[in-house]
Structure 1
Amino acid sequence: MYSGCLSLSHQELETFGGQLQCMALFAEHCSRVKYLKFIELPLSQRKFCQRCQQLLLPDDEEKHRKHQIVGDISITQLKRPSQLLYPLENKKTNAQYLFADRSCLFLVDLLSTLGFRRVLCVGTPRLHELIRLKASGDKKSNIKSLLLDIDFRYSQFYMEDSFCHYNMFNHHFFDGKAALEVCRTFLQKDKGEGVIMVTDPPFGGLVEPLAVTFKKLIAMWKEGQSQDNSHKELPIFWIFPYFFESRICQFFPSFCMLDYQVDYDNHALYKHGKTGRKQSPVRIFTNIPPNKIILPIEEGYRFCPLCQRYVSLENQHCEHCNSCTSKDGRKWNHCFLCKKCVKPSWIHCNICNHCALPDHSCNGPKDGCFICGELDHKRSTCPNIFTSKKVNNTLFFRAVRKRKQRKSNKMKMETTKGQSMNHTTVTGKKKRREKAHQYLCS
């Protein structure tokens, strides 16, 4: 459909892009109009097509007659769309894992305890719906939420002021300036006070583009700040695996990692309650001082008076490092040669001069560039990268030629062998016929 776009001029591309944006706006507007009509229907007429993942009005039923349809959709179900919609499960593009209720309820209670009144939910649809659900059922709760998410299906369930179709990897609002202004207004309300951003990006995404996007959202929030508050930071909860700690802190030095294990409903591995390496590796990175965040004691978290923060039960304070050093929930051991704590499965290697797994390979560079071994740059910026690629290509094509040659030789051998066998068979038959003829004649 879009193959002809490459031949369009810049002006035509802008026009084409504008038309696509108008189509998207129209589609989402229709979805929201449909929602308003849908909630006015009696319970018996409220239906949802599981195949098409959309709400159905009475006029739509004939088109979906052969599909799997769920009826009697209640208002409670409409308030929990993440349970009504199938999670996206394409791991290469848009795998969608949803918080378990345990983690979601913890976050909602924590945000309320910390005194936040507005939550910008970037890629956290279940947290968004639970905040709204609590606000509608509890008159004392005054927390509001705005969801920014790539999943356009949520536009069926939320109005423009509570959902924006958004791509967090390039800071793109699919609904254009209108959605951008909704987000800006949400962040800058009350001069930016009482707002926090909670984000749960796909774990396969690169940290750098995400950091660039989040800094743009921070800049948007800072536009509403006075000069006196220019030193302040937008409070953030970034939910990501613990092994990305160094990369996240590279872009946000004020962030620290909490010990709380975040788990998901529809992920086989990221579950709370498991021990050792099987437990969830997902943590919360935040610029909020950790001594202000209370983790649930009933789940095995305890307060370390020396570190002034809550840690997991197995995370023991190391007197040599003067810190609770464990990152993955297991008890780490202090290595006096490395002068730091390491994972319990690691041992000190005298060849590499640092701790690693017992079966690791000592060959090749461990830090810096993987091509030349220098420590002042990475592989992507190595001056020898083109030489390396050329060598690799030469080796690759040489290997391909050898493989083809071996295959050709094998085919020739089989052909020769077949011909030899055929010759032997013909000769054997001829001798048997001659012997039979001699026997009959004798």
Structure 2
Amino acid sequence: MAEARSELPGSAALALLGPAPGAPCCPHGPALLFVKTSQGKEDGRRFYACSACRDRKDCNFFQWEDEKVSETRLAAREEYNRSHQPFFTHRQNVDRYKNFVLLPLSKRRFCQECQQLLLPAEWKKHSDHQFLCDITTAQLKSPSQLLYPLENKKTNAQYLFADRSCQFLLNLLIDLGFRRVLSVGTPRLHEMIQSKASQEEEFNVRSLLLDIDFRYSQFYTEDEFCHYNMFNHHFFGGEAACETCRKFLCEENGERVIMVTDPPFGGLVEALASSFKKLMAMWRETEKEEMPMFWIFPYFFESRILDFFPSFSMMDYQVDYDNHALYKHGKTGRRQSPVRIFTNLTPSMIVLPEEEGYRFCTVCQRYVSSGNQHCEICNSCTSKDGRRWKHCALCKKCVKPSWFHCNNCNCCTLQKHSCEKTDTGCFVCGKAGHKRSACPSLSRSRAKCIFHFILISMLLFLLYRPDKKKGQKIRKRIKMGICKRLAMKHAIFSKRKVKNKKKRT
């Protein structure tokens, strides 16, 4: 995997080195290897961190690469990882589902707190929990509507496709001739395919869901769902689950296959790209071409995705979600959904609905949004966000309509911005060469604050110490001192009053 850097505040930079052989594991599978480098230093110290969680609050796994871990700590880590695994295995969940569907409607219950289908023998354990009753077959066929969506932006981020987008994607896949869909983190699309396949005899599209949310194992068999971490290409079910995926991709029955993925938008693009290439490599064991793919992601990640997949192009179609306040189709300006489809298919093949305002550009040979006007200078439909962009002669490219060219920055940006080339001084002392956090004056003022805090603490301790007699003496001295100061101030004030009266007379 190619090294990818992301700048951190200050002089440090964080680089993702990717999966490493023999990497330690956390509950989310093998950790990823990172390196933190400081300015002026070529080599930084390497460390392992959780692949799925970028926030230490979600998973606090951390280990230096050269750190020697004791046997006791390794045993404790294994026990911790084991304790954080699901209570039931996938096979047990499949058996439980078979027993659940045989129950009469009045005995079908779903625990909302545990997010679990309940059999009658388990009701007593969940008696103080909230649960849904009379679970219908239609609800079982739509688990994404039954389960609470996990909305951690950096880990799960289950923003589920709206019916409009889901139906469009499915119709597009059928029109393009795909009959097998590898659904990586797209449960709503998977369940729509599964539901149609069970209801319509002529419907011949199949789907395999790869997802980190193990709750879906309650509703799908091992041939329909694999517990999978897309950040480190880890199959929690081991080699058997990996073989299920390989078999699904490499079936030689003439059916075309495509991968559709909708990763968490806060995830590392580098890690995702590495996993997707490994899934593509499974398919390429029997094929010579690049595996067709739809990567659904915000348009502002375009350059990062093209770094890893140069053959991809971005479509103008706005993907919207049911449970996201902003990512909705039909809104205007900056409130439009920024989520797009990146694909390695020929752009002219992706037909977008004209009734929603999309049109075909004969020059670009692709469908674009109504506001995306063709620029004669750039010779392209340049808008990314659905609005009409304007061409800047100085930047030699089209920019957002709200941007203006800044002579200091020598580029187009927002009108109210901080110029990069303006040598602004420190907010504390006004001097250049350092920031507020590193200001010497700030450190001196902090030292004064600490000194005053200690002094006040000592006084309070002396005032309210257990020794009553000494405490009373100290209080009397302090009171006498305060009285003396007040008397002196009063005398000075009185003298000034007398002088002022004499001057007036």
Q: TM-score, normalised by structure 1?
A: 0.82
Which position in structure 2 is the counterpart of 1:432?
none
Greater per-residue helix proportion = 1
Query: Which of 393, 407, 420 is residue 350 of structure 1 equivalent to?
Result: 407
Distance 1:93 1:122 in 2: 14
Q: SS at the partner of 1:190?
A: coil
Question: What's the CA shift for 1:133?
Answer: 1.2
Q: How much has 1:304 moved relative to structure 2? A: 1.1
1:423 maps to amino acid: K
Query: For 1:9 and 1:424, how far apart are their aligned partners in 2?
Result: 65
Correspondences of 1:30-69 after superposition (within 5 Å) = 30-69=92-131
Q: Which residue of 1 aligns with 2:306?
A: 249
In structure 2, the CA distance between the partners of 1:417 and 1:338, relative to structure 1 (3 Å rule), is farther
Measured in 2, the distance between the counterparts of 1:22 and 1:186 equals 29
- 1:192/1:224 contact within 8 Å kept: no
Give the equivalent residue in structure 2 for 1:387.
Answer: none
3-state DSSP class of the match of 1:117? strand
Aligned counterpart for 2:180 among listed residues 92, 113, 118:
118
Matched, 1:186 2:248: yes
What letter is aligned with 2:143? P
What corresponds to 1:169 in structure 2? 231
Q: Which residue is 2:268 aligned to?
A: 206
Paired with 2:399 and 2:84, the residues of 1 have a C-alpha distance of 55
Taking the aligned partners of 2:390 and 2:489, their CA distance within structure 1 comes to: 77
Q: Report the CA distance shift for 1:417/1:280 in structure 2 as closer, same or farther (over 3 A).
A: farther
Question: Which residue of structure 1 aligns with residue 133 of structure 2?
Answer: 71
Tell me the amino acid that sits aligned with residue 150 of structure 1. Answer: I
Identity %: 61
SS of the residue aligned with 1:283? strand
Contact 1:24 1:174 in 2 (8 A): no
Unaligned stretches of 5+ residues in structure 1: 366-390, 430-442
Pair 1:20–1:409, CA change in 2 (3 A)? closer
CA contact (8 A) 1:191 1:224 kept: no
Structure 1 residues 423 and 274 mapped into 2: Cα distance closer, same or farther (>3 Å)?
A: same
| 2:364 alignment partner, SS class | coil
Correspondence for 1:309: 366
Asked if 1:294 is matched to 2:351, the reply is yes
- Note closer, same or farther for the CA distance 1:427–1:344 as it changes in structure 2 (3 Å cut): closer
2:315 paired residue among 254, 258, 270: 258
Question: Which residue in the other structure is 1:8 paired with?
Answer: 71
- Structure 1 contact 201–240 (Cα < 8 Å) conserved: yes
For residue 273 of structure 1, what is the aligned residue in structure 2?
Answer: 330
Q: Deviations over 1:344-364 (max 9, x none)?
A: 011112222221111222225
Q: Tell me the SS of whatever aligns to 2:152.
A: coil
User: Which of residues 406, 409, 421 in structure 1 aligns to 2:482?
Assistant: 421
> C-alpha separation between the residues in 2 aligned to 1:359 and 1:393?
21
Residue 179 of structure 1: how far off its partner (Å): 0.3
Unpaired segments of 5 or more residues in structure 2? 1-25, 28-60, 64-68, 423-433, 460-476, 491-505
| Aligned residue type for 2:157 | A
- Is 1:138 aligned with 2:200? yes
Whether the 8 Å CA contact 2:155–2:267 is kept in 1: the answer is: no
Deviates more, 1:419-428 or 1:193-202: 419-428
Could you tell me whether the CA contact under 8 Å between 2:100 and 2:119 is conserved in 1?
Answer: yes
2:284 aligned residue: 222
Q: Distance in 2 between matches of 1:395 and 1:351?
A: 26
Q: Is residue 213 of structure 2 the alignment partner of residue 151 of structure 1?
A: yes
1:405 pairs with 2:466: no
Match of 1:369 in 2: none
For the residues of structure 1 that align with 2:73 and 2:251, how far apart are their CA atoms?
A: 38
**Preserved CA contact (<8 Å) 2:155 2:264:** no
CA–CA distance in structure 2, aligned partners of residues 180 and 10 of structure 1: 30
Q: Is the 8 A contact 1:25 1:175 kept in 2?
A: no
- The one-character-per-residue Cα deviations of 1:167-215 (angstroms, maximum 9, x if unpaired) are 0000000010110000000111127850000000000011111000001
DSSP 3-state at the match of 1:36: helix
1:96 corresponding residue in structure 2? 158
Q: Which amino acid aligns with 2:385?
A: D
Q: Structure 2-normalised TM-score?
A: 0.72
Q: Which moved more, 1:343-352 or 1:75-84?
A: 343-352
